[in-house]
Amino acid sequence: MQTMAISKHKRNAMKRTALLLVIATCFSASAQESLTPAVLSNLEKSVNVSGAEKAIQNAIQSNAINKIALNGNNRQATDTWFSLDIKGTGISDQASSGRCWLFTGLNVLRQRAMKNLKNEEFMFSQVYLFFYDQLEKSNLFLQSVIDTRKLPLDSQQVQWLMSNPISDGGTYTGVADLVSKYGLVPQDVMSETYVSNNTSEFNGHLKRKLREIAINIREKSESGASVKDLETYKMEQMKDIYKMLCLAYGEPVKEFRWAAKDKKGKYLNAPKDYTPLSFYKEVCAPEEDLNADYVMLMNDPSRPYNKVYEIDMDRHTYDGHNWLYLNLDIDDLSPIAIASLQDSVPMYFSCDVGKQLNRSNGLLDVNNYDYNSLLGTTFGMSKKQRIETHDSGSSHAMTLVAVDLDENGKPLKWKVENSWGKTYGYAGHLIMTHDWFREYMFRVVVNKKYIPADILKLMDQKPVKLPAWDPMFGMEE
C-alpha cells in the first residue's frame, strides 16, 4: 500500500509539472520583448475612440490638461477661515529664480526683526545672502572634486558632482549656516538685480566655469600634483568665481549705516553703523542656535519612521552641516507643527507643490483634478511608491503660518505664506487640505521646545547616512 501511494504521488507531481510546462510555453509564446508589427497591430486594435471619447480626445489635443481635468464637483469657494493664524510678514517674490528656500528662511527670521524694529515694512536682502550661497557652493563643489580626485570619472559619486556643480536651490540648513557665518542686511542696503531675479542664464555660465576648473583639477592630480597644489590652484580660480558673482549680484556689503523708516519714509530712530553680523544679532536677537536648537522633521514612508537620516554632501558650505532629519509618521509630525503655531511661531515648510495645485485660487487638494476620468486610466501609487520611483519629492519651500482645527483638535487644513508675489493664489498664500498635507508634505523645521521629550530623544541615535543621489535628495526651488 505504501509503494502504491508513493507511485500515485509521483504521477500527480508529473502531471502538475507537465501542466506548468504547458502554461510556461503558452506564456512564452504570448510574451513580447519588442514592439513587433503584430504587437503594434494588437495595440492599435485596442483603441476605439468614438462618441464621448472623441470629444475628450479633441479637448486634450487643444487644451492644457489641468484646464479640462479640473473637477467640477470641487469648485466651491475656498474656505479661508483658520482657527490658528499667525499674522503674516508680507508677501515676497522670488521672481524667476529657485531661491524659495532662502526667501522662506528669511521670512521666518523677518517676523522677529519686524517685532524688534516695530516696523511692518521691513525686509531682509535676499541677494546679499545669495551671493555667499553661490560662493560657498562653488568652493564646496571644487573642494569635493579634490576630495574625490582618486575616484574614476565614471564613478557614481563623481558623476553626481559633475551633474550638480551648483544650483540656486537649497534647504533650511543652508539658511542656518549662511546666516550664522555672514549675517544679514536690509533689502534697501543691497537690492535685487536682474540676474538674481532671473538666475537660469547666469547659473548656466557659472556651472560651465566650475566644470572646467573641476576637470583641470583632476588632470593636474593625474599628473602628480599634491593636494596642497590643487587647493592653491582652486583658490586662484575662485577669484574668477568671486568676480563673476560680483558682476551679476553686486559686491557684498561689509559695513553700512541704517535705520528703519515708516511707510512715508520717515526715520523711526537715528541711523547706526552695522556690520551684517552685528545687524543680524541686534534685529533678530537670536536666543538660540539656528542649527542646534532646530530640528528638521520629515515624512518619508519609503523608510522606517523614528530614525534619523543624513544626506551626504547635501550642504551649502564645505565647513557647514549636512542636511539631517528625523523621519516621523504624519500623525506624529502634525501635532508638533500645531504646537509651534499655537505659540505664534511660523515654520520653514516644504512640499511637492506642483501636485494637484489649483493655480487660480491657490488651493492644494487631492480632489482638484480628475485625471483618471480624463485620461481613461488610474493613478494609484502610494506616497511611498511615488518617492521610490522619483515621481514625488520636496520641490518648494514656504512659510507655514496657519492651521484650522476641528472640535477634537485635529487639522482640517493648513496655510502657507508663499514667495510668488502678492497676486498669486489666495493673496500670496496657498491653502492645503489635510488630506493633501498627508500625501505631499515632506519637511518642516521646528524649534526643539515644541517636540515631545520621547520624540526629541530619537535625535540621539546615530544617523543613517544616505548618498546625495538618494530619491529624497532635492533642493527646494
Tell me how far apart the alpha carbons of residues 327 and 458 are, in angstroms, rounded to a whole number.
10
Tell me the backbone φ, ψ of residue 219, rounded to 5 degrees.
Answer: -70, -40
Selected catalytic residue, list 316, 396, 429, 434: 396
Closest CA to 374 of 60, 74, 63, 64: 60
Our answer to whether residue 299 is catalytic in this structure is: no
Selected catalytic residue, list 100, 358, 368, 434: 100
Strand stretches in 53-134, DSSP E: 84-85
DSSP result, 402-468: EEEE-TTS-EEEEEEE-SB-TTSTBTTEEEEEHHHHHHHEEEEEEEGGGS-HHHHGGGGSPPEEE-T
Q: Alpha carbon of 345 to those of 84, 90, 231, 413: distances in Å?
A: 11, 15, 43, 17
Our answer to whether residue 269 is catalytic in this structure is: no
Name, in order, each residue with C-beta under 8 angstroms of 391's C-beta and a sequence gap of 6 or more: 381, 385
Tell me if 473 sits within 8 A of 311, measured CB to CB: yes
Tell me how far apart the alpha carbons of residues 119 and 113 are, in angstroms, rounded to a whole number.
8
Helix residue ranges, H only, 250-390:
276-284, 330-342, 371-375, 383-388
Tell me if 78 sits within 8 A of 363, measured CB to CB: yes
- Return the SS3 of 117: helix
Strand stretches in 183-259, DSSP E: 256-258
Q: What is the gyration radius of the CA atoms in the chain, in angstroms?
A: 28
* Strand duo 396-405 + 84-85: pairing: antiparallel
Selected catalytic residue, list 368, 418, 429, 434: 418
Our answer to whether residue 73 is catalytic in this structure is: no
Q: Alpha carbon of 46 to those of 38, 39, 42, 43, 55: distances in Å?
A: 13, 11, 6, 5, 18
Q: Alpha carbon of 313 to those of 162, 167, 466: distances in Å?
A: 13, 14, 9
CB-side neighbour CA atoms (13 Å) of 455: 23
Closest CA to 115 of 96, 143, 137, 87: 87
* Strand duo 84-85 + 272-274: pairing: unpaired
Q: Which residues are catalytic?
A: 100, 396, 418
